[in-house]
Amino acid sequence: MELWKQGAEAKIHKTDFYGKPCIVKERFSKSYRHPILDKSLTAQRVKSEIRAMLRCRMSGILTPTVYFVNMDSSCIYMEEMLDSVTVRDYIQSVQSSKTAVEAIETLTPLANTIGHTLGIMHKQNIVHGDLTTSNMLLQGDPSNNRLCLIDFGLSFFENLSEDKGVDLYVLERALISTHPNTEKLFNVILEAYCKSNDTGSKDVIAKLEEVRMRGRKRTMVG
């Protein structure tokens, strides 16, 4: 197996699985944390990740197909998303090649797709837990907006609006801190989200607002 990438908590190897291009996501142990905590977090995250990927696919959201799981070595064997770029790289390339106004215009359909997809995901009570533009891929020509969600290690199932609100808050912060001047795109994401998560979005948006205020209103002593 060839090591392809190393993220914060997993090594990604490339291989093939009975002839299909496959990547292996190996969660490695973190020597900075206590062994009991480390074991429990690693096992929990492998399980969360495969469960959420399966649930997403069942509701029509594109995620890599899981081929095989080895709990002993904390490895998930999954489909390699060929010909894909991260949303992060795509936004950066659009922002660097166009004027600010043009960039927002170009990226609006993508924001729509992101909002729509997250709406479906939350409607199924799947909370991603780590929504960033690095954890979203675009397959094929990026302008086709074929969006694939990845990195579900922090995900869980929950019907609470609070958790869904925090999920969106995490995305908002990641989007704006990574890509300055994208506040408008987040609004587009929210609009599309409300359309596809038709039943619960009102409460989620109210919670999002509450979590935002918590951040801003907190007195920060020391």
User: Segment 35-64, which members bind other proteins (CB under 8 A)?
Assistant: 36-37, 40-41
The yes or no reply on residue 158 touching other proteins (CB under 8 A) is no
Helix, strand, coil abundance in the chain, percent, nearest 5: 50, 20, 30
| Nearest distance in Å: CB 88, other proteins | 8
Which residues are tagged catalytic?
130
The yes or no reply on residue 174 touching other proteins (CB under 8 A) is yes
Phi, psi of 132 (to 5 degrees): -140, 170
137 is written with which tokens?
Answer: 């891929």
| Nearest distance in Å: CB 170, other proteins | 4
| Nearest distance in Å: CB 35, other proteins | 8
What is the Cα–Cα distance from 155 to 86, expressed in whole angstroms?
19
CB-wise, 21 or 35, nearer to other proteins? 35
The yes or no reply on residue 202 touching other proteins (CB under 8 A) is no
The yes or no reply on residue 216 touching other proteins (CB under 8 A) is yes
CB-wise, 22 or 131, nearer to other proteins? 131
Q: Which of 132, 145, 161, 197 binds other proteins (CB under 8 A)?
A: 132
Q: Which of 8, 58, 82, 101 binds other proteins (CB under 8 A)?
A: 8
The tally of CA atoms less than 13 A away on the side-chain side of residue 29 is: 11
Q: Alpha helix locations (H) across the chain?
A: 35-58, 87-97, 100-123, 161-178, 183-196, 201-217
Residue whose entry in the numeric block shows the structure tokens 């300055």: 180
User: Segment 70-129, which members bind other proteins (CB under 8 A)?
Assistant: 129
- Nearest to residue 136, comparing CAs of 201, 93, 105, 91? 91
What is the Cα–Cα distance from 108 to 75, expressed in whole angstroms?
36
What is the Cα–Cα distance from 59 to 110, expressed in whole angstroms?
20
Task: Tell me the number of residues near other proteins by CB under 8 A.
Answer: 39
Name the residues that contact other proteins, by CB under 8 A.
7-9, 30-34, 36-37, 40-41, 129-132, 134, 154, 166-167, 169-171, 173-174, 176-178, 180, 211, 214-222
